[in-house]
Structure 1
Amino acid sequence: MKFPASVLASLFLFVAETIAAFYLSSTYRSDGDRMWQSLTLLFSLMPCALVQFTLLFVHRDISRDRPLVLLMHLLQLGPLYRCFEVFCLYCQSSQNEEPYVSITKKRQMPKDGLTEEVEREVGQAEGKMFTHRSAFSRASVIQAFLGSAPQLTLQLYITVLQQSITTGRCVIMTLSLLSIVYGALRCNILAIKIKYDEYEVKVKPLAYVCIFLWRSFEIATRVIILVLFTSVLKIWVVAVILVNFFSFFLYPWILFWLSGSPFPENIEKALSRVGTTIVLCFLTLLYAGINMFCWSAVQLKIDNPDLISKSQNWYRLLIYYMTRFIENSVLLLLWYFFKTDIYMYVCAPLLILQLLIAYCTGVLFMLVFYQFFHPCKKLFSSSVSESFRSCLRGVCLSNMRRKSSASVVKVDKDLKSCTEQDPDPEQDQGQGKDPDVRPSTSRVSSSEVWSAVDL
């Protein structure tokens, strides 16, 4: 059994960020900043409650008779208790031999176009460990984008306004950024394992490094741009956030209504229709929160029994990053035109250039990951480079067709004007001119010109 390093990392980020938030809120209280104290506590306690609910939901402990577990979650100590259970399972697995095992079948990655199906025995302890890992992965994603991302934005905004940074604020911003990047990384791994559930997926260390750099550049630049824009246009940032949020929140529901599929009833047997609706709304809320700051590797699809789209849509990925780059550029330009005196000693053009280059660097690491380090790249129907090349080829062909049609229209107009100016041959004979001498352009047909342009 593998060492549960992911569980330990999730627990460390959860506990460290919560402690740092409580310490920072106490400093705000001593300084008399009640508003900053309230917002800091809000962005710390809200993800704590959601994490407790997620762990209970994944382990299905609500309908089971486990009063101690429920009490620990009510005291916000559920992750600590779950981590203790994980290490107890890990220590006991090497000592006891389990009499009951289940057999799972997984396909290996194709080699020379051939795939082999491998059977593997999974014990009861390993199955429980898998459930714990899955629960902590989902909890990390929820904590990252519904708690750490707003917390990082808030603390960076306070730093810009006060033009000073304290040790506590620096610590919590570092932990929040690590939590967001780790949550995005877990989201990528979850998406890969859900989409390729039939295959045995092994993620290499270089793939983790590439995802970490991709998400770090993407999320850091996005947060900085939002903070810069908020510092000069406080009211308009509300419109930007609402448009982003409701666009991604309503998008899965619009696709579901257009598909005409029945309402999903197989999410959880113990849930009623109202409970299923609440769970789906929470999932779309999380989906919108992720896409607010970075690309969601998991594409929500409500009409699918697994709620996840397993198709790899490169064009949606391209459209997202092109739109996000344009939006970031517009926000930076607005900040440049409306910046205040607090940016007197900041070289604004250089800062804009650095942020845009950093965002493009994140996109570059994303392309490198999908092209070279994706664990299931052999299963892609087309690679990233081929998809982008075909997209660019389509754009170039459409531009060439527009130019050719415009040139044909221009030549037709020139021919028409020349034909109207050309005198009648009979009048030429009556005036004593040679009837065989005629302008060559007066007898060129439009079909011949079209074929020439096409050629």
Structure 2
Amino acid sequence: METPLEETDEGSTGGVSSLEIEVFLDRRTHPRFPFSIFLSTLLYCGEVASALYMFVLYRNNGDIYWMSFTISLIITGAFFDQITLLFFNKDSRGNKVVLLIGHILLLGPIVRCLQTTIHYHKLLKYLTLEAEESQDSNPERNKILQRKIVYSSQCILRQDNAFKCMRVVQAFVSSAPQLVFQIYVTLTIKELPSGRALLMTCCLLSAAYGAILCSTLAIQISNDDTTIKLPPMELFYVIIWRFLEIISRAVALALFAASLKLKSLPFLLVIYFVSVLAPWLEFWKNGAHLPSSTEDSSVVGTVLMLIVITLLYAAINFSCWAAVKLQLSNEKIFDRRERWGHRILHYSFQFLENVMMIIAFIFYRGETLLNCCYTLVAIHVLIIYLLGFSFMCLFYHYLYPRKSDKIL
């Protein structure tokens, strides 16, 4: 018989609360497997595999410049993915060596997905035993079984939280820049082999999925961390909004970069660092006090953590709207209030950026970029962005879920 597992608290389980476990085990006979873990792993494998294929293709063709950027972006994203998963699973007690080797080989998502699947099947077995032995008069045996059920549930929910954060990191640290770069390569050499088309598709799906997760996590934050389930209609609007936003932004950035080459770099850096510095300017304006929840922590560690969060927040805002407002002086880090002003301000500035990049493309385009009407392409890009903005407005005005009627 398996040895009883000690009960674990919320701090050791990646922030999994007892309420989340109760929600997860609401249907005691057959709790739902978190398929977002499987989808995240599938996207990770598809993106890495297609990037490695293009790496080999670029190397065989002697395209050292394209090869270097392609492999650098995918390795950077994979590295941060491993760091994210390790951060959430720092308390793993079994098979530490196997898990660590998996992360070193950049196979962490695959290993964690298999681990979650094993815990899920164990949970089903424990629930079956609990149903069969519900009339058992042995309280000690029932207590051990309850501990096993809680522990397996904690492991599954912890991995679900870890993969959500990993997907956001992957989407905006690797997938979105990779998508822009591969579109840039296609515009420059006017070729679209099947390998690059597959890589661009995986990157688009990954970036859009990360943006969708940003929206759902923002809804959860604004509703006091209550688990919210989006009905099909609301989810459809979020998907369309995010896909249109990511596509239009990526194409605008690629057209701008392909037109001006290295001259576009200062402009892009300014856009990014404005998003980085904006939360810190507000932080200093409010008195430069660290969040009160970090008083017992190392000041240096807290500042480093806030810098990392700010860099990721700026990377998200560079590609799409982050769906939340960062507040470094607040112990909750993110503003839980709904701010139409913040929403409109972001989209107004990003639309202005897109217009400026499109104008630069029209006036400074290379003669080998496209074989069609440049003005028509520019209009299509801006219309797609405005359509995405329209879907966003419709969602927040009519379909935004509230805790009172959408709580699980």
- Is the shorter-chain TM-score for this pair beyond 0.5, marking a shared fold? yes
Structure 1 residue 154: Cα displacement: 0.9
2:66 is matched with 36
1:55 is matched with 85
Would the alpha carbon gap of residues 173 and 205 (structure 1) be closer, same or farther in structure 2, given more than 3 Å must change? same
1:8 maps to 2:38? yes
Supply the AA of the counterpart residue of 2:274: S
1:247 maps to 2:277? no
Would the alpha carbon gap of residues 210 and 172 (structure 1) be closer, same or farther in structure 2, given more than 3 Å must change? same
2: CA distance, partners of 1:308 / 1:279: 14
Structure 1 residue 273: Cα displacement: 3.2
1:276 is matched with 302
1:193 is matched with 220
1:173 maps to 2:200? yes
Residues 262-304 of structure 1: per-residue CA shift (max 9 Å, x gap): 32474697x6433332222111111010000100113222122
- Aligned to 1:326, which of 329, 343, 352? 352
- Aligned to 2:333, which of 284, 302, 307? 307
Q: What aligned pairs does 1:344-423 form with structure 2 within 5 A after superposition?
A: 345-376=371-402
Query: Larger relative contact order (C-alpha < 8 A, sep ≥ 6)?
Result: 2
Unaligned runs of 5+ in 1: 103-121, 380-455
1:142 maps to 2:163? no
Supply the AA of the counterpart residue of 1:348: Y
Would the alpha carbon gap of residues 286 and 101 (structure 1) be closer, same or farther in structure 2, given more than 3 Å must change? farther
User: Rg larger in 1 or in 2?
Assistant: 1
2: CA distance, partners of 1:92 / 1:355: 49
Supply the AA of the counterpart residue of 1:324: Q
The alignment partner of 1:88 has SS state of helix
The alignment partner of 2:326 has SS state of coil
Residues 326-384 of structure 1: per-residue CA shift (max 9 Å, x gap): 221122112112223225631122112111111111011111211232222879xxxxx
Would the alpha carbon gap of residues 268 and 70 (structure 1) be closer, same or farther in structure 2, given more than 3 Å must change? farther
2: CA distance, partners of 1:154 / 1:343: 14
Q: What aligned pairs does 1:146-225 form with structure 2 within 5 A after superposition?
A: 146-197=173-224, 199-225=226-252
Unaligned runs of 5+ in 2: 1-30, 131-141
Instruction: Give the RMSD, CA atoms, in angstroms.
Output: 2.4
2: CA distance, partners of 1:79 / 1:350: 42
- Aligned to 1:238, which of 258, 265, 273? 265
1: CA distance, partners of 2:227 / 2:86: 28
2: CA distance, partners of 1:301 / 1:179: 27
1: CA distance, partners of 2:404 / 2:281: 33
Q: % of aligned pairs identical?
A: 33
2:8 is matched with none
1: CA distance, partners of 2:91 / 2:75: 22
Would the alpha carbon gap of residues 231 and 275 (structure 1) be closer, same or farther in structure 2, given more than 3 Å must change? same
